[in-house]
Amino acid sequence: MKKLFYIFGFVILFAIDLYPQDVIYDIQNYLEGVTVYDISSDGENIWFATNGKGIYQYSLIKNKWYNYSTNNKKLKLDFFYCITANKDYVWAGSTDGLYIYNKKRHRWIRRKFGKGGQLGNWIRSLSFDKYSNSVWIGRFQFLTRYNLSTRRFTDYDLTVNGNDKSNTIKSIAVDGDSLLWIGTEAGVHKIYKHKKFRIDSTKKYYDNSLNYFNGEGDEVSVSSLLPGKEYIWFGTDEFITPQNPNFNVGGLFRFNRKGEWIKFDKADGLQGNGIFSLARTGNYLWVSVYHFNSQKKEAQGLGLTLLNRVLLSVKPVNDERIPNNVYKIFFDGTNIWLGTNKGAFKINLTNKLIPNFKDLNTEQ
C-alpha cells in the first residue's frame, strides 16, 4: 500500500500544469564549467560523458562523485560524445573508438573498429538493449551490435540508394522487444529485431521523400528519438546556409506509426528549429532547442521548451539558472538531468507544488 501511495503521488506530480509559472524548479548544478554531452543510468549510478574531462560517475546510493580521466590516469582520452550502461558494464563513445568499463574489475579497455577507417571509430550514439542483451553502437560510418551473450561485434551497412549519410548514425532508440530506431544524417531506419537478425530484409527507411517528415528540406538529419506507445517523436537538426537555405530545416516531428506527421517549430512556439535532445515526463515532452548560426557556422543553444502532448501546446522554460546550450535531457525516474556547456543540472520534480492539476492521459 505504501508503494502504491508513492507511485500515485509521483504520477500526480507529472499531471501538474507546469505552464503558469516561469521559475518552478529545485535546481542543483554539478560539474560546474564542464561540458556534458550525454547522460545515462544503470539504476544505481548516473554516468556523464564530457568534452575534455573524461567520464563522471555519480553514485545515487553513496551520494558521491567519481572521475575517470587522464588526470588520474584511469583513461587515455578525455573527450566523449555518448554513454550507456547496465549493471555490469559502462560503454562510452569517443572519436577514437569505444571504451568499455568492467565494474567488477574496475578497468577500462578500448575497442577499435576496422570497417569504416578512422571515421568509423567516431562513436556518436550508444544504447543498451535489455531485450536482446546487446549494445547498439552508432558510428560515423556503420551501425554495430555488440551481443553480450556471445561477446561478438557485428557491423551493419545501412546505406540506402547510395547515400552515405543514410549510414552516418546520429541517434539510437530501443522501442520495446521488437523494434529499433536509428537516426542518421539523411533519415531514420526502423529495424525489426528477431533472433536471426538480417538488416536488409527487416527494415524500413524514412527520409523526406514520399511526404515523410512532411517532405520538408533537402535532407532530414535525426538528432534525437523518443518512442512511445502510439507515437514516435523525432528531433531533427537545423543546418542552413545562404547558399543552401533549405538543406536541413529542423523541427520536432510526431509520427503516429502509420502515415501522419505533425511538425512543431518556431511558428508553433519553439525558440529555435534545431533539436538537441528529448525526454518525457507524464504528459510533457522536454525539448532542448538551438538555432544554427550560418555566419559563425555553429549551433547556438536556446534553452528548454515544454510541450504538452495532450494539448499540443508549447511553452519555453524561463529560468535563468538553466544554460542555453542543453545537449542532453535525461529522466532518471525522479529527476530531470541536463547535460550543458556549464555542467550537469538536476531538476528535482518532486519538490514543486502547483495548484493546477489535470488528468494524466496514457503515455503516447
Q: What is the pLDDT of residue 203?
A: 81
CA distance 272 to 259: 26
Q: What is the mean pLDDT of each run of 10 residues along the chain (364 residues)?
A: 38 40 73 97 98 98 97 96 98 97 96 88 97 96 96 94 96 95 97 72 86 94 96 96 90 95 95 97 95 90 95 92 97 95 91 35 43
**Short-list 51, 25, 52, 29, CA closest to 38:** 51
The residue written with cell numbers 567519481 in the block is: 66
Q: What is the pLDDT of residue 119?
A: 86
Domain boundaries, the chain: 2-351
The residue written with cell numbers 522501442 in the block is: 175
Q: To which H or E segment does residue 10 belong? A: helix 2-15
- State the pTM of this model: 0.89
Q: Is 202 helix (H, G, I), strand (E, B) or coil?
A: coil
Classify residue 220 by burial, with Cβ atoms within 10 Å: 0-12, 13-18, 19+: buried
Q: What is the pLDDT of residue 1?
A: 39
The contacts found for 259-264 with CB under 8 angstroms, 24 or more apart, are 261/211, 261/212, 261/213, 261/214, 262/312, 263/213, 263/214, 263/216, 264/307, 264/312, 264/314
* 2-351 placed in CATH 2.130.10.10: yes
Classify residue 174 by burial, with Cβ atoms within 10 Å: 0-12, 13-18, 19+: buried
Q: List CB contacts of 209: < 8 A, sequence separation 6 or more.
A: 215
Q: What is the pLDDT of residue 183?
A: 98
Does the CA dihedral 119-122-127-129 come out positive or negative?
Answer: positive
CA distance 201 to 164: 19
Does the CA dihedral 80-83-89-95 come out positive or negative?
Answer: negative
Backbone angles phi, psi at 345, to 5 degrees: -120, 135
CA distance 30 to 343: 6
Q: What is the pLDDT of residue 200?
A: 63
